[in-house]
Structure 1
């Protein structure tokens, strides 16, 4: 767990460092994050998705519910390599949605169950640990709910990697960035993807920890 925590902190620090670095590199063609997003959506014939600005840093996301590409303030108006990479990545999710990408559909289908699991999971696990000497059932239920969130985090990985692949392919095909800028964009998206990898591994490590408590309690019966 300590190793996972340290790795997560390192990846988050590296991501922010890369984002700051590439945010200072102006895109040669002068397009803003908003313009890159709108251009990519238009190229894919997607006309029902809006590109809007959202508060915060690294809060960029695609919302399939209202079909909006939400770009953070540091991306929406910025004309940097980092902004282009992030904007294209989020539009990659919009393309996934428009083309019914199977892993995105699977991930979206899990959201309702996941929202319920996340709301009660920690309380059920806590109660389960306290009641282990009486019955393992509450903890088993909590572990099952946590397993659902862990599965969700692993399903997220191919969705994120595919969005980055689509973004970089489009940037290259349309000549949005120079070869050097393309390399920077690829590097930025690589570190962004690693945050999801570390999160998934952290979730798996926590799940195994709870499973060990459950199995240990059952053996002591």
Structure 2
């Protein structure tokens, strides 16, 4: 994994990103703040198609960052906002509904709507993440194929693994939208 990552970065003219090993499983990620490709110990040290695919995918994010890929910039801008608002959203919605029911005041409605706005930001983040992840996988697969880093069988396995991984983000986005719609119906459907 480490060798693949370093080679992909070099092939893309990226020499200011460090490839490091991090503890844990499924901890692989690119950190644009400190310009590191963080690979789990297994991915970092293994020499197989799965490790190559994961390492190349994370380097795909580094390439996005180097090329100022718009959706990555939007996603990065949303991170600090969503990290604060996502934890509060359901509490505000539920608290607003309880306040509205118990006190019978309009204040509960506005608290719940604030929660819906926070939830909508988290949902937007989920949908902005989709093209970022698909693009990183596409960059990784194109590089692996063009540089003949894997055999045809290994490439097919890497392609399947990255496509299924990207689909988990799709499921998360659909889940976030479903949750937003459910709570919106609870809040807005209770208006007289």
Name the counterpart of 2:158. Answer: 185
Shift of 1:35: 0.4
Q: For 2:100 and 2:8, locate their aligned partners in 1 and report how far apart those are by CA, in whole Å.
A: 54
- Secondary structure of the 1:131 match is helix
- Gapped runs of 5+ residues in structure 2? none
Name the counterpart of 1:37. Answer: 5
- Gapped runs of 5+ residues in structure 1? 1-32
- Secondary structure of the 1:53 match is strand
- Secondary structure of the 1:69 match is strand
Shift of 1:122: 2.7
Matched, 1:47 2:15: yes
Say if 1:132 and 1:217, in contact at 8 Å, map to a contact too: no
Q: For 1:35 and 1:182, locate their aligned partners in 2 and report how far apart those are by CA, in whole Å.
A: 17
The correspondence for 1:206, drawn from 163, 179, 185, is 179
Shift of 1:155: 0.4
The correspondence for 2:43, drawn from 50, 71, 75, is 75
Say if 1:54 and 1:71, in contact at 8 Å, map to a contact too: yes
What RMSD, in angstroms, separates the aligned Cα atoms of the two structures? 0.9
Matched, 1:174 2:142: no
Q: For 2:25 and 2:8, locate their aligned partners in 1 and report how far apart those are by CA, in whole Å.
A: 22
Name the counterpart of 1:215. Answer: 188
Q: Which structure carries more relative contact order (alpha carbon 8 Å, separation 6+)?
A: 1
- Secondary structure of the 2:167 match is helix
Shift of 1:128: 1.2
Shift of 1:119: 3.5
User: Which contiguous aligned blocks of 4+ residues in structure 1 show a shift greater than 4 angstroms?
Assistant: none
Shift of 1:171: 0.3
Q: For 2:142 and 2:46, locate their aligned partners in 1 and report how far apart those are by CA, in whole Å.
A: 21
TM-score, structure 2 normalization? 0.95
Tell me how many residue pairs correspond in the alignment. Answer: 187
Q: Deviations over 1:92-146 (max 9, x none)?
A: 0000000000110111111121122124223212211212332211100000100
TM-score, structure 1 normalization? 0.82
Q: For 2:189 and 2:142, locate their aligned partners in 1 and report how far apart those are by CA, in whole Å.
A: 49
Say if 2:93 and 2:187, in contact at 8 Å, map to a contact too: no
Q: For 1:112 and 1:81, locate their aligned partners in 2 and report how far apart those are by CA, in whole Å.
A: 34
Name the counterpart of 1:17. Answer: none
Name the counterpart of 2:112. Answer: 139
